[in-house]
A and B are shown apart, each in its own frame.
Chain A
Amino acid sequence: MHTELLSIFSKSKPQSKKKKKRNSSLHLQSHSSSKQKKTLIMQPCSREMQAMNSLLNPTQQIPLQDLHINGNRHQHQQIHVPSSSQFQYPTPTSTTHHDDSFLEQILSSTTSFPWSDETGPPNPEDNNNAGFNYDEMVLASKLRQHQINGGAAANPFSAMKMMLMMQQQQQQQQMMLAGRPTVASAAAGGGITTNHQGGEGSMQALYNVFGDGSLHGTMQAKSFVGANSATEMTQSQGSGPTAGEAVTAPEKPKQRVRARRGQATDPHSIAERLRRVRIAERMKALQELVPNANKTDKASMLDEIIDYVKFLQLQVKVLSMSRLGGAAAVAPLVSEGGGDCIQTSANGGSHPRNSNGDQTPSGNDRLTMTEHQVAKLMEEDMGSAMQYLQEKGLCLMPISLATAISSATSRSRNPMINHENPTNGSHLLIQSSGGDGPSSPSMSVLTVQSATMGNGGLEGGAASVSKP
């Protein structure tokens, strides 16, 4: 049976000749030299796949020989190592077995990475070959080491990343060869998003991949590779890669967050950024809970939240006051702002009102108290004043409107309308029935003349309290 080798093993030379930008899908490449291998039509795979093919084809075929879709196991020796001179890959047979299973696992888990199979004799590269192969060797050894470390089943992704790394390396090499400033869009499978031009980008991509795959203990090799590629890069393209720069992390195994380009990968800054992100998330969640959450500023949002919590606590207090078996109509005026009076008037249970019970018969006193409180609150903080009103089921409205309403309803209802000439302005306090439940149809309007008189600077002018 014939191995269906993946496109990793495609030749480097023909690929280098092809423009990578030409097509996004890997083509089958049938090489006359490779009789053993079949070629498959591949899915739209990135060029890195091709690169990887070419990379891996000449170099390490033993561990990757089983990179096929079907997972054939028999092809240990079918792919011969092209030329041992180029590639010193000391793979003992024991490791090949490791590799087989490991790679099979990879392949079975990631069937979305279809590899076209492509082999060919290793192409005697030009002068870059030495470093090229050295890098490959390093990468291959890393892969092997990774496999040996038993990380196979645990993280096929890192293995994929290693392969991608090799791809990228290959691509870099090829770019160097071709002298084309192609975009090393590293990211094919790993989702690494770099869009840098030329060697710098690929260098970063390389570093990125190195960093993201959990390559423990391969750091020295990385630096080696980095140095190599760096020198080669500078040779070929004269761009100085910035060592140590990091790029944004891929999403998949997000083991740690990398800093943006230009920032230090300082653990403190990372931790702080993480903290900020979490706080932002929580603020967003709070925004949904709190009404009037259209503030974008964090500080004002916090203010809103604080006010809302105060309001809710006040509501609980008021509600617990009013639920006294319906007998006593209690209108406690416990307010934080003005906060001194708890006025309880037992009305003998004439008619138990709703929770925000301001009773009509002797309501004048209470309403005056309310108004006093409101005026006091308004002086200090408009927000809490509004909320105080809100919890009592009151609202401010222009007197003209209130008079209109009261006159409209006073015909059918029990009017207790006291009008006084407002000095200025136009606001009324109108009490709703708390938004639910039955409410008495009577209406009473009271003006807060005293409040306005008392507080000269009060902006709300004449406020009158009316109750539906």
Chain B
Amino acid sequence: MDSQHLNPSSLKSRFTARFLRALIKINAQKPISSSSPRDIFQRYQRIKVAADKSMAYSVRSRRTWSRATLWKLRSRSRRRLASSGRRSSIKTRTTTTTTTTTTSTNHRAAIVEKTSHEKENKEDHVGLAVQAEELRELVPGGESMDLCNLLDETAHYIKCLTTQVQVMKKIANLYSLE
């Protein structure tokens, strides 16, 4: 099973390394024995976030969807920290990420307007607007792209998702063997 990760710098191996590290951290933080649904749900959330995050990290910022995912996760964690009252860490984080967030929000707002305008004007893909909308919702960061780039992002996103699912399945099997 490990012999498949032949290329040390491939997407798969990068993701696997990060995800395993995150899993170890999660398992170390919370004991597994907690069985209340809420705890389990929380753990599930953490794992899912870890998976998405490690995937997005493996792609760095080369893709719009990975940037959007990272941004989303970071803002969410910041909000959570804000609610829990840890202001100091927020401040440090906000200083680094304010610029990116503001620019991205402005950029996104501008582009959303532009794309909606374009959609109204250019009616060459008449029936595909609905599906394009749906795709935009599905793919993170997809609201700010025209159809051409959206399809590109979708292709890469699908590839990464399949990798993610593969690796997670294998890990789950490992777990289930015990």
Tell me the A residues contacting B by CB distance below 8 Å. Answer: 272, 275-276, 278-279, 282-283, 285-286, 289-290, 298-299, 302-303, 305-306, 308-310, 312-313, 315-317, 319-328, 330, 332, 342, 344, 346, 348, 352-355, 357, 434, 436-438
Contacts and interface: CB of A to CB of B under 8 A. Distances in A.
A156 to B, nearest CB: 34
A191 B51 CA distance: 53
Interface centre among B127, B128, B162, B176 (most CB of A within 10 A): B176
Nearest to A325: B32
Contact of A282 (B148, B162, B171): B148
B48 A353 contact: no
Q: What 8 A-B pairs have minimum CB-CB distances, sorted nearest first?
A: A437-B173, A282-B151, A355-B172, A346-B35, A302-B131, A320-B48, A312-B161, A325-B32
Nearest to A315: B165
B68 to A, nearest CB: 14
B35 A328 contact: yes
B47 A323 contact: yes
Contact of A310 (B32, B138, B173): B138
B176 A316 contact: no
A348 B33 CA distance: 9
Interface residues of B, number: 49
Contacts of B147: 279
Interface in B150-173: 151-152, 154-155, 157-159, 161-162, 164-165, 168-173
A70 B175 CA distance: 74
Given A302-B128, A327-B33, A438-B177, A346 B155 contact: no
Contacts of A285: 151, 155
Contacts of B168: 316, 319-320, 323, 355
B40 interface: yes
Contact of B51 (A316, A348, A354): A316
Interface of B: 23, 27, 32-33, 35, 37, 40-41, 43-44, 47-48, 50-52, 122, 124-125, 127-128, 131-132, 134-135, 138-139, 147-148, 151-152, 154-155, 157-159, 161-162, 164-165, 168-173, 175-178
B158 A299 contact: no
Given A272-B122, A327-B32, 20 more contacts: A282-B152, A282-B155, A286-B155, A299-B127, A299-B128, A299-B131, A302-B128, A302-B131, A305-B158, A306-B138, A313-B138, A316-B48, A319-B51, A320-B51, A321-B47, A324-B47, A325-B27, A344-B40, A352-B175, A437-B177
Nearest to B161: A312
A357 B175 CA distance: 12
Main secondary structure, interface of A, reads: helix
B33 A309 contact: no
A290 B155 CA distance: 9
Contacts of A276: 124
A354 B148 contact: no
A354 B165 contact: no
Contacts of A322: 172
Nearest to A324: B43
Given A316-B51, A438-B176, A309 B171 contact: no
B35 A309 contact: no
B178 A330 contact: no
15 contacts: A272-B122, A285-B151, A286-B154, A309-B138, A309-B161, A319-B51, A320-B44, A320-B168, A321-B44, A330-B40, A346-B35, A346-B40, A352-B178, A436-B170, A437-B172
Given A305-B154, A308-B158, A316-B51, A323 B171 contact: yes
Contacts of B157: 309
Nearest to B175: A326
A272 B128 contact: no
Contact of A319 (B125, B138, B169): B169
Contacts of B173: 354-355, 436-438
Given A302-B135, A316-B165, A352-B176, A324 B124 contact: no
A303 B135 CA distance: 9
A255 B9 CA distance: 37
Contacts of A299: 127-128, 131
A414 B48 CA distance: 34
B153 to A, nearest CB: 10
Contacts of B135: 302, 305-306, 309
Given A316-B52, A320-B168, A323-B168, A309 B158 contact: yes
B95 to A, nearest CB: 32
B132 A302 contact: yes
B41 A344 contact: yes
B131 to A, nearest CB: 4
B178 A326 contact: yes
